[in-house]
Amino acid sequence: MAATATAICLTLNQPSTCRLQKAPSPTKFRVFTLRCSSSSQTATATGLADRPWKTSDARLVLEDGSIWRAKSFGASGTQVGEVVFNTSLTGYQEILTDPSYAGQFVLMTNPHIGNTGVNFDDEESTQCFLAGLVIRSLSISTSNWRCTETLGDYLADRNIMGIYDVDTRAITRRLRQDGSLIGVLSTEETKTEKELLEMSRSWDIVGIDLISGVSCKAPYEWVNKTDLEWSFNSRKDVETFRVVAYDFGIKHNILRRLASYGCKITVVPSTWPASEVLKMKPDGVLFSNGPGDPSAVPYAVETVKEILGKVPVFGICMGHQLLGQALGGTTFKMKFGHHGGNHPVRNLRTGDVEISAQNHNYAVDPQSLPKGVEVTHVNLNDGSCAGLAYPAKNIMSLQYHPEASPGPHDSDYAFREFIEMMRKVGQDV
């Protein structure tokens, strides 16, 4: 078959009127024609007849009826979850492996994601627990001295869905206005938009025990400290405190920071009896972060109640909320929660402002707490309770993450305060 040709003609008209300013003499441009041709057979053979770029092959359907078309990466299929936005500029791998995101699609407000790839050192748990990742722009290349794998390959290996080339700013504005929304992410063309919308409206994250799905199944000892190349604020003395950490979805860096401050740590499952913990004669107990609704895990609240007043305790995030309920207070679901590494918090005892890493959709109502419980920290964005203390029972807690990872280290002093509280109680015994 004869090849068909296409031609592009470029002609410069009225060349006599074109002159270079400040030239010693008028400079004329010659009229020229540029003709380009290509064979349709060649175009078909090389795939140029089709679009050489990835086209939209995924849909994010929100319970409010909005449909967002995007391009997929990572795993394929259909997944339901609660959509939340995270304002961190870096640290997407730590976010991916934070168990507190179980059941949620994490939308990154920072538009460019994936440029540093992934590595094995930055993981905060043994697997990815989130439902999916939503980003604006997926980096086509990686550049980092620790990179071992691309973000797309990493998610595919762990069966986590991701989408990109979607208007994350518009979705974020919608979430801020209407609150967190349930959504369905799908790459399956056979599913109609009506079916996906019905899925989003028939599922709810409230009242679901998500902790049991992320907690360890048996006790284990933790010994790893913060690596020397990243070490800071570590204790120089050799005094050791035995700490039992309840795993409600604990991040590895919480354990690293405790170990760096000289703690010998035993991690126990979320359902581990309080009586067994007290038999270990710990110097202190830590109640960790974790996903979901604290009211959906009454067994954890009862465990906390049995331990209060017997040993010093420190609650982080979910642990903070469980402590609030155990003390007689109530918790409530926030409009869109706090997710990011740049949330300002005021320490009411010192007046200092800390930039903190946060990840939670629930908060403690300070008006519901009994007399004697002190609100120690306040979130400066919305005034919500960010920290509690009950000196009479040696209790302290934070609604945010003092271990950061990702995020700033402003609040790392909280681990030192926990150490000092254990030391003081030990001296008084």
Identify the band that residue 159 occupies on the pLDDT scale cut at 50, 70 and 90: very high
Q: What is the 3-state secondary structure (H, E, C) of 57-70?
A: CEEEEECCCCEEEE
Q: Which pLDDT value is given to residue 298? A: 98
- Nearest 10 degrees: CA dihedral of 88, 94, 97, 99? -70
Give span(s): CATH 3.50.30.20, the chain: 58-205
Helix axes 298-307, 318-326, angle to 10 degrees: 70
What distance in Å separates the CA atoms of residue 405 and residue 289, rounded to the nearest whole number? 13
Q: Please determine, for residue 227, whether its predicted confidence score (pLDDT) is greater than 60.
A: yes
User: What fold does the segment set 58-205 form as a domain?
Assistant: Glucose Oxidase; domain 1 (3.50.30)
What distance in Å separates the CA atoms of residue 369 and residue 298, rounded to the nearest whole number? 18
| Proportion of the chain above pLDDT 90, given as a percent | 83
Q: Please determine, for residue 332, whether its predicted confidence score (pLDDT) is greater than 50.
A: yes
Q: Are 60 and 183 in contact, with CB atoms under 8 Å apart? A: yes
Catalytic annotation, pick one of 82, 317, 339, 360: 317
Q: Which pLDDT value is given to residue 40? A: 43
Q: Please determine, for residue 38, whether its predicted confidence score (pLDDT) is greater than 50.
A: no
Q: Are 155 and 74 in contact, with CB atoms under 8 Å apart? A: yes
In this prediction, residues 287-316 reach a mean pLDDT of 98
Condensed to tens digits (0 to 9), the pLDDT of residues 353-369 reads: 999 999 999 999 999 99
Q: Which pLDDT value is given to residue 386? A: 98
Q: Are 296 and 325 in contact, with CB atoms under 8 Å apart? A: no
Radius of gyration over alpha carbons of the chain, in Å?
A: 28
Q: Which pLDDT value is given to residue 383? A: 98
Q: Please determine, for residue 13, whether its predicted confidence score (pLDDT) is greater than 60.
A: no
Q: Which pLDDT value is given to residue 234? A: 61
Residue 360 falls in the annotated catalytic set: no
Least confident of 23-32, 104-113, 278-287: 23-32
Nearest CA among 98, 58, 57, 49 for reference residue 79: 58
Q: Please determine, for residue 34, whether its predicted confidence score (pLDDT) is greater than 70.
A: no
Token code pair at residue 70: 């995007």
Q: Which pLDDT value is given to residue 50? A: 64
Q: What is the 3-state secondary structure (H, E, C) of 154-167?
A: HHHHCCCEEEECCC
Name which residue leads in pLDDT, 51 or 348.
Answer: 348
In this prediction, residues 213-233 reach a mean pLDDT of 87
Q: Please determine, for residue 167, whether its predicted confidence score (pLDDT) is greater than 70.
A: yes
Least confident of 78-92, 189-203, 224-238, 265-279: 224-238
Query: What superfamily would CATH give domain 211-428?
Result: Class I glutamine amidotransferase (GATase) domain (3.40.50.880)
First to last CA, the chain: 96
Average pLDDT score over the chain: 89
Least confident of 8-17, 44-53, 263-272: 8-17
Q: Please determine, for residue 18, whether its predicted confidence score (pLDDT) is greater than 50.
A: no
Token code pair at residue 263: 């703690």
Q: Please determine, for residue 100, whether its predicted confidence score (pLDDT) is greater than 80.
A: yes
Residue 317 falls in the annotated catalytic set: yes
Q: Which pLDDT value is given to residue 233? A: 65
Place of tokens 């902790």: 211
Name which residue leads in pLDDT, 85 or 43.
Answer: 85
Identify the band that residue 6 occupies on the pLDDT scale cut at 50, 70 and 90: very low
Q: What is the DSSP string of 120-137?
A: SSS-SSSS--BSEEE-SE
Handedness of CA 284, 289, 292, 293 (dihedral sign): positive
Residue 403 falls in the annotated catalytic set: yes
In this prediction, residues 306-320 reach a mean pLDDT of 98
Name which residue leads in pLDDT, 332 or 140.
Answer: 332
Q: Which pLDDT value is given to residue 157? A: 97
Name which residue leads in pLDDT, 75 or 230.
Answer: 75
Give span(s): CATH 3.40.50.880, the chain: 211-428
Q: Which pLDDT value is given to residue 239? A: 74
